[in-house]
Structure 1
Amino acid sequence: MPSSRRSSKRPYSAAHRPLEMQRATGGRRQVTRHGEEWTVQPVRGNEKEYVCPGCHHRVAPWTAHVVAWANESIFGEQAALDARRHWHTHCWSIAE
């Protein structure tokens, strides 16, 4: 027997919400620094500890931060991805 409750889903006649690409890609974005293209992705943190290349202090475990990598490398795309670095969010935002 069907439920008598009304569905809370979007009615068939209602318009779809536009896709938010920023959310769909996990916040990943492309930026240009010093004429070089970078991919930057915010992360919530995990149990590993990293050293921020901006301030040379540790990025404590479970601390939200950003991961950045150059889109191109003379050694190839995979080498650029392998050379990614974990930055404090503030350090990345003020890096020149």
Structure 2
Amino acid sequence: MPRANRRRVDEPRGVPGRGVDRSVSGSDGDWIVRTLRGDSSAKTYRCPGCRQEIAPGVPHLVVWPSRGTFSAGDGVSERRHWHRACFEHRGRRG
């Protein structure tokens, strides 16, 4: 009987220190979302949802508009670092 704890072939793999990119659709458009564990971040970012700082080492999301592939000119300058809760509740803010 095969081992049950092996990674399935169809499971996406991420870059070490980074999460896997996924698409999210909402009333505000389509987004590409990458979850960061925090251990790969060395800078302080400002969350656009709550305007509070995201300190180095804190897990958070990197979000950019969905416009095809992730390359220069396709949303790179529009990347924003969000707290997970802030991004999930972005439609409720006034």
Distance 1:29 1:79, change over 3 A: closer
Number of positions where the alignment pairs a residue of Structure 1 with one of Structure 2 = 78
Distance 1:19 1:56, change over 3 A: same
- Aligned-residue RMSD, C-alpha: 2.5
Equivalences for residues 2-81 of structure 1 within 5 A: 17-21=8-12, 24-25=13-14, 26-34=19-27, 36-45=29-38, 46-72=41-67, 78-81=73-76
What is the deviation of 1:27?
2.5
Could you state the TM-score of these two structures normalised by the residue count of structure 1? 0.68
Bigger-Rg structure (1/2)? 1
For 2:48 and 2:80, the matched residues in 1 are separated by: 7
For 2:88 and 2:20, the matched residues in 1 are separated by: 15
The answer for unaligned runs of 5 or more in structure 2 is none
For 1:79 and 1:19, the matched residues in 2 are separated by: 27
Identity %: 34
The answer for unaligned runs of 5 or more in structure 1 is 1-9, 11-15
Q: Partner amino acid for 2:46?
A: V
Deviations 1:43-66 (A, max 9, x none): 122110000000000001110000
More strand by share: 2
Q: Partner amino acid for 1:93?
A: E
